[in-house]
Amino acid sequence: MNILYLALYYGLARFLPSSSACSVCVKLRRYLINKIFYYAGSNVNIAQGVVFGRGGKISIGNNSGIGEGSRLVAMESIIIGDDVMIAPEVLMLTGGHKYDDPNLFLREHESLTAPIKIGSDCWIGARAIILPGVAVCNRVIIAAGSVVTKSITESGIYGGNPAKKIKDIPK
């Protein structure tokens, strides 16, 4: 049955307009996500053009959303907390490759995978990249275009490549 929901999502629902233009489109995507993702909380918004592979390793909490054209590559689990705003064209990658054996071509090295976890009350800016094994604590803003290579364990605003803390968020 999952293949049917995936076919409906990738064949139709992902091309439909986002929330402000079509509330029925949002409800259809929400329905399909509830069938595809490992877990989907209430009031989840998946915008137009989001790609997530088969989706079975993705969990998304209440009142969270994924912006237009974002890509979630879930070779391992991706867990998104409650009240998370993910802007357009964000990329989350849970896989990469080893490169340590000089006797092998890079393409011959084995794959490495590690989960991603985004805490609650976070905002991930447009075109940010979250790499394998990253965990982001609660109440974090990741600036647009940032590359998060290491886990973030303290609330605040992070930006750059690699992302570093810029300042605190008022409490």
SS3 state of residue 4: helix
Nearest-CA neighbor of 36 among 74, 68, 62? 74
Q: Which of 97, 98, 150, 164 is catalytic?
A: 97
What distance in Å separates the CA atoms of residue 16 and residue 21, rounded to the nearest whole number?
A: 9
Q: C-alpha dihedral over 128, 134, 72, 90, to 10 degrees?
A: -10
Nearest to 124 by CA among 153, 91, 77, 94: 91
Helix residue ranges per DSSP H, 12-151: 23-36
**Is 109 among the residues known to form the active site?**
no
Q: Please answer whether residues 65 and 46 qualify as being in contact, where contact means their C-beta atoms are separated by less than 8 angstroms.
A: yes
* Alpha-carbon gap, residue 53 to 6, rounded angstroms: 9
**Is the separation of the CB atoms in 159 and 166 below 8 Å?**
yes
Catalytic residues: 97
